[in-house]
A and B are shown apart, each in its own frame.
Chain A
């Protein structure tokens, strides 16, 4: 590849040269295009590698430091306040319980809101306003959401530091993102699909339910996975809502009003992420560092497992609803 000493300038001058010696100019132009193509490819590869290195480094660091601390007793026993050897048993359950509750509340609402916005809402200032509000909300710092949750659920409604306060706060935190991403997934289903349904004498709702949603399912599953990861790893929004204490859980206690009943929504429930924050910022246990490391490793492993589980569930569901067609093409 030989580059000319002075590369030909495009536009006006270039046109002149073309008429004079078309062949030479074409070669020079191709050479230039090829060179910039190579440069661009190299730059993109470097950027991608940087991201990979950071990611692998981070995850590797967390796992390397933490996995050693993971043991059956660490995963099942209750945390200690003053001496070493505490576990994170209740925190694991609390995190999962809060995640499930939050998703149970936020996914139906998020789905409903995004269906309304995407399919039914008229295109006017009001809906534009709602969209802007959602975008602003989705970038709200989680500590602000947490303080809002504390004022409303913990203090105003008198629910105290509780699972339900935490779950509702996380819903507030989670909904904007969920609505935005699901709306995008629905909007990316070609309008020709809706037309096809309507032309067969189906109502808007039937078309929505049986044509648009199944087609958008992979996108919807992705958005739920993304938001679940955020919820599972969230600490700031929970510190003042679900609280920083994890009462020991008694699995034989099914009295929903008892403090040790796992499913009691009115009990305080420190989660894994909050535990990491607490133990490394104000914890006084001697092995705090190791506990935080082990908890962080577990957090990552659980998110990964949840991700894989949801993906295979989504793929299965999508296959049942669309005969494996969403990855195909139309037209």
Chain B
């Protein structure tokens, strides 16, 4: 596999020989990827190629699925988190996730953000207020919703809902943010808005984004990994991968010959 690993001193997240099985279906084969701190990494590939499966391993979400087996090492800040006694709830506070379709809770805008921190022990009202405001500001949503924090989040537009979901994830102050096709349900304008938001957030967070949209990977990702049939075919700096793909399967995919 042609690889351009990130510099060793900036590794936020790394997988070693990661394999995923759904019963007998070998969905992910020996994935070895390194994600550098404060970079956006895009995972591209056709549907069913294992990129979402891979992403959902990184915060151990796949553990929720019955008959799903995850083998190999997932190193977060140097420690393997894919162990039986790992506290998955703690891991998920450090590695946030944003989903394909905006999924705000059936709660007010305020509670969408304050709910999880409150459950995790923050009870002070002033502290929560501050957290809600800073998270919404980070997600570039504060100006639009500051006057209606007590109204339901479901009345927001799709793009606003997705930014709320990003704010909700940021409120836990994670180190890593995983995004599973965050723009696939949004219109082009909201998509561009979220893309520029992600680019800004790069200074503070490490991000891994699954995307179907090659232009999106090109626009925002520092590195890109190409998945095919459960395998990582190629992983490189985005410019290099798009302009000089080493593997013919990569160039075939990029030029639209399949997928």
A-side residues, CB < 8 A to B, are 122-123, 190, 192-193, 195-203, 206, 210-211, 214-215, 321-326, 328-331
- Contact sample, A vs B, 11 pairs, CB 8 Å cutoff: A122-B66, A123-B66, A193-B105, A199-B99, A201-B90, A211-B106, A215-B106, A322-B106, A325-B106, A328-B154, A331-B103
Give chain B residues whose Cβ lies under 8 Å from the Cβ of A331: 101-103, 158, 161, 185
In the complex where A192-B99, A210-B119, A214-B106 touch, is A323 in contact with B165 (Cβ < 8 A)? no
Establish whether residues B107 and A196, one from each chain, have CB atoms under 8 Å apart when the complex forms: no
Q: How far, in angstroms, from A190 to B66 measured CA to CA in the complex?
A: 18
Q: How far, in angstroms, from A190 to B99 measured CA to CA in the complex?
A: 13
Give chain A residues whose Cβ lies under 8 Å from the Cβ of B154: 325, 328-330
Q: How far, in angstroms, from A122 to B65 measured CA to CA in the complex?
A: 11
B151: nearest chain-A partner, CB-CB = A323
Q: How far, in angstroms, from A330 to B89 measured CA to CA in the complex?
A: 25
Rounded to whole Å, the gap between the CB of A260 and the closest CB of chain B is 48
Q: Of residues 142 to 185 in B, which have CB atoms within 8 Å of A's CB atoms?
A: 150-155, 158, 161, 165, 168-169, 172, 185
Establish whether residues A322 and B107, one from each chain, have CB atoms under 8 Å apart when the complex forms: yes
Judge whether B248 is part of the interface by a CB distance below 8 angstroms. Answer: no
B-side residues, CB < 8 A to A, are 59, 61, 64, 66, 89-93, 96-97, 99, 101-109, 111, 115-116, 119-120, 150-155, 158, 161, 165, 168-169, 172, 185
Establish whether residues A195 and B92, one from each chain, have CB atoms under 8 Å apart when the complex forms: no
Establish whether residues A199 and B169, one from each chain, have CB atoms under 8 Å apart when the complex forms: yes
Among candidates B61, B90, B104, B155, residue contacting A195 with C-beta atoms closer than 8 Å: B61
Give chain B residues whose Cβ lies under 8 Å from the Cβ of A322: 105-108, 152
Rounded to whole Å, the gap between the CB of B109 and the closest CB of chain A is 8
In the complex where A198-B61, A198-B92, A201-B172 touch, is A326 in contact with B106 (Cβ < 8 A)? yes
Q: How far, in angstroms, from A196 to B113 measured CA to CA in the complex?
A: 12
Q: How far, in angstroms, from A190 to B168 measured CA to CA in the complex?
A: 18
Establish whether residues B107 and A325, one from each chain, have CB atoms under 8 Å apart when the complex forms: yes
In the complex where A325-B154, A331-B185 touch, is A195 in contact with B169 (Cβ < 8 A)? no
Establish whether residues B61 and A199, one from each chain, have CB atoms under 8 Å apart when the complex forms: yes
Q: How far, in angstroms, from A214 to B108 measured CA to CA in the complex?
A: 12
Q: How far, in angstroms, from A214 to B115 measured CA to CA in the complex?
A: 13
Give chain B residues whose Cβ lies under 8 Å from the Cβ of A192: 99, 101, 103
Q: How far, in angstroms, from A201 to B105 measured CA to CA in the complex?
A: 15
Q: How far, in angstroms, from A215 to B111 measured CA to CA in the complex?
A: 14
Establish whether residues A198 and B64, one from each chain, have CB atoms under 8 Å apart when the complex forms: yes
Q: How far, in angstroms, from A324 to B109 measured CA to CA in the complex?
A: 11
Rounded to whole Å, the gap between the CB of A321 and the closest CB of chain B is 8
Establish whether residues B102 and A330, one from each chain, have CB atoms under 8 Å apart when the complex forms: yes
Q: How far, in angstroms, from A239 to B109 measured CA to CA in the complex?
A: 52
Among candidates A122, A195, A201, A328, residue contacting B93 with C-beta atoms closer than 8 Å: A201
A199: nearest chain-B partner, CB-CB = B97
Q: How far, in angstroms, from A323 to B151 measured CA to CA in the complex?
A: 6
A194: nearest chain-B partner, CB-CB = B64
Give chain B residues whose Cβ lies under 8 Å from the Cβ of A193: 103, 105-106
Rounded to whole Å, the gap between the CB of A101 and the closest CB of chain B is 32
Give chain B residues whose Cβ lies under 8 Å from the Cβ of A122: 66
Among candidates B59, B92, B107, B169, residue contacting A214 with C-beta atoms closer than 8 Å: B107
Give chain A residues whose Cβ lies under 8 Å from the Cβ of B150: 323
Task: Give me 14 other A-B pairs in contact (C-beta within 8 A), A321-B107, A325-B155, A326-B106 excluded.
Answer: A196-B105, A198-B64, A200-B92, A200-B168, A200-B172, A211-B106, A214-B107, A215-B106, A322-B106, A323-B108, A325-B106, A328-B106, A328-B155, A331-B158
Q: Which of A200, A202, A210, A324 has the most B CB atoms < 10 Å from its CB?
A: A200
Q: How far, in angstroms, from A122 to B97 measured CA to CA in the complex?
A: 26
Among candidates B64, B92, B155, residue contacting A201 with C-beta atoms closer than 8 Å: B92
In the complex where A198-B64, A331-B185 touch, is A325 in contact with B103 (Cβ < 8 A)? no
Q: How far, in angstroms, from A201 to B168 measured CA to CA in the complex?
A: 12
B149: nearest chain-A partner, CB-CB = A323
A122: nearest chain-B partner, CB-CB = B66
Establish whether residues A206 and B106, one from each chain, have CB atoms under 8 Å apart when the complex forms: no
Give chain B residues whose Cβ lies under 8 Å from the Cβ of A202: 89, 116, 119
Q: How far, in angstroms, from A324 to B111 measured CA to CA in the complex?
A: 12
Q: How far, in angstroms, from A196 to B165 measured CA to CA in the complex?
A: 9
Rounded to whole Å, the gap between the CB of A200 and the closest CB of chain B is 4
A318: nearest chain-B partner, CB-CB = B106
Give chain B residues whose Cβ lies under 8 Å from the Cβ of A197: 105, 116
Give chain A residues whose Cβ lies under 8 Å from the Cβ of B109: 323
Give chain A residues whose Cβ lies under 8 Å from the Cβ of B115: 200, 210
Q: How far, in angstroms, from A289 to B64 measured CA to CA in the complex?
A: 62
Q: Which of A122, A123, A197 has the most B CB atoms < 10 Å from its CB?
A: A197
A198: nearest chain-B partner, CB-CB = B64
5 tightest A-B contacts by CB? A328-B154, A325-B152, A323-B108, A201-B93, A192-B103
Establish whether residues A330 and B116, one from each chain, have CB atoms under 8 Å apart when the complex forms: no
B92: nearest chain-A partner, CB-CB = A201
Q: Which of A199, A321, A331 has the most B CB atoms < 10 Å from its CB?
A: A199
